[in-house]
Amino acid sequence: MKKALVAVSFGTGYIQTRQKTIEAIEEDLKKEFPERIFYRAWTSAFLRRKVLENEQLQIGSLDDILREIHDEGIRDVLIQPTQMADGREFKEIRKQAALYAGSFETLSVGRPLLSREADIRDMAHVLESLFDWIKKEDMLVFMGHGSAEMDANPYRQLDACFREDGFAHFTVGTAEFEPGFSPVMDRARERDPVRIYLSPLMVVAGDHALHDMNGEKEESWASRFSRAGYETESILKGMGEYRPVRAMYVQHAKEAVCLQEDYDQ
């Protein structure tokens, strides 16, 4: 029986960060599941149109891809999202998968990066190791995207893990929704660091990283910290560039197959 693997991402219009992040995750997934035919889907219609216009690159929606897979006679499908959290976008992916409940013999959906307490703990350890060069007199601020409709808030949980592990000089805020920017500014005032490092807690270093975190506009995080008197430095690397982070996505896909964790659980 032919089998399919679908990597579902939000997408990005930045070619270089796409190659280093989304495509790197896809390559790792393909290596783990060589027996599966690989497909790519993006959830953002705007970005699908943008790359088609700018690069003549055709990328389908999840609905497009699932219809294509079905028409090709494949009946075993594994979907692995590259979303960070179990929020609105991931829930929409599950809803789309549910529409095909009767179309495939097996349809499994892996979980996003930070969907369980164990994931958040693992992510904390990964980040503590990757950024262990940050001195305790400095501070590392992660900017997550944030999401609506989350059952729990992984960003606050991740911040709590850093504190428990003795990494109170690491902290997490979000560009949208909760917890926002205020908690990271409060932590800076509490700690009075020598330097503040800024890093996107997002798969790609796209618009949010380049403009909302690092941009020159008044409301960017770098500008707000600078006005408050802090020296800042931005680390413009998406989470998909880090091999241990990509390995977590691969593990989630493996669990989805082994435990048959699909859309309706």
Nearest residue to 6 via CA among 31, 35, 45, 36: 36
Rounded distance, CA 57 to CA 63, Å? 18
72 C-beta neighbours (distance < 10 Å), count:
12
Q: CB-based contacts of 127: which residues, under 8 Å, 6+ apart?
A: 142, 162, 170
Concerning whether 145 is annotated as a catalytic residue, the answer is yes
- Starting at the edge strand found earlier in the chain, the sheet holding 76-81 runs 36-42, 3-9, 76-81, 106-109
Rounded distance, CA 83 to CA 89, Å? 8
DSSP labels, 157-172: HHHHHHHHTT-TTEEE
Residue tagged active-site, from 145, 169, 208, 252: 145
The two structure tokens encoding residue 201: 């807690």
**CB–CB of 21/49 below 8 Å?**
no
Element (H, E) at 259: helix 243-259
Instruction: With H, G, I as helix, E, B as strand and everything else as coil, classify residue 43.
Output: coil
Q: What is the set of active-site residues?
A: 145
